[in-house]
Amino acid sequence: MTGHFRLDRRTFLGAVVASAVGGSGAASAQQKVGERKIDPLDLPLDKPGVWTLNFRYKPPRIVTLDGIGKDGKPEKKVVWYMWYQVYNLPKDDRAAEPVTFLPEFELVTKDLNTTHLDEPQPHMIEQLNKLENPQNHPNLTLLSTIAISKRPIPPSKPDAIPRVVTGAAIWTDMAEKAPRTNKFSVYIVGLSNGQATEELRTGEKLIKRKTLQINFVRPTDDNRPQIVDIRPDDSNAPAEQWIYRTTSVAKSIGAPVPKPPG
């Protein structure tokens, strides 16, 4: 299937070695430069049966693509995108089942206090494929956050090369709404089915979902944007952390208790 790919051992090892020594060849084809791998982590709020996918990513990049303007006419657009891969490596054979990945990528600027949601535009995904998959390998094709959710992620065996699925998140409004941001985080929901509820004194319930938070820094501004301006922010702690983040609030149901007369 397009996007679901089991790397053969020779290709995988060759890409890793070539990337480590700065070579081309397999490393260029697999786009390994700057890639980081995040393993699942058990959290105190995890309940029995919680699964978490493995995640690989490269820091968001800034490129100019062919887009559609507000007037419906073609125009060049500066977009931010984030290349990633997921794979399903269960803890034990009993949990070796396919899982559905319903990703949500939310970019939140820490210095400008803006929020940006992924916009899965197929025509932009096609253009990004030419950048990230220059040899047009059919099994490394980028999938949008919608397309990647259409088939479950198959389980990988512990002693085998992971069966990766490759995708990209796209933000098209950064140049317009937050061009000068230097510090932001990307919150990724859908990598786990972990969910927890916290009840407030008001009766409202906070719905929290297991989320991967990745912090980034961008030392430059938007005057001369470069494709590799952004890097993980490891200044105070690892840039990546698993958390339970509030995603919605459930209000209490029912009429309020009437006050006694008097």
pLDDT digits (tens, 9 = 90+) for 63-107: 999 998 888 889 999 999 999 999 999 987 656 899 999 999 999
Q: Is residue 117 part of a domain?
A: yes
User: Is 155 within the bounds of a domain?
Assistant: yes
| Residue numbers of the domain that contains 110 | 34-250
Position 222 scores a pLDDT of 62
pLDDT digits (tens, 9 = 90+) for 30-44: 446 689 999 999 999
Q: What is the mean pLDDT of residues 218-243?
A: 86
Q: Does the residue 29 lie in any domain?
A: no
Q: What is the 3-state secondary structure (H, E, C) of the chain?
A: CCCEEECCHHHHHHHHHHHHCCCCCHHHHHCCCCCEEECCCCCCCCCCCCCECEEEECCCEEEEEEEECCCCCEEEEEEEEEEEEEEECCCCHHHCCCECCCCEEEEEECCCCCEEECCCCHHHHHHHHHHHCCCCCHHHCCECCCHHHCCCECECCCCCCCEEEEEEEEECCHHHHCCCCCEEEEEEECCECCEEEEECCCCCEEEEEEEEEEEEECCCCCCCCCCCCCEECCCCCCCEEEEEEEEEEECCCCCCCCCCCC
Tell me if 72 is assigned to some domain.
yes
Residue 26 in any domain: the answer is: no
Number of structural domains (the chain) is: 1
In a domain, 9, yes or no: no
Q: Please report the pLDDT score of residue 225 as a whole number.
A: 64
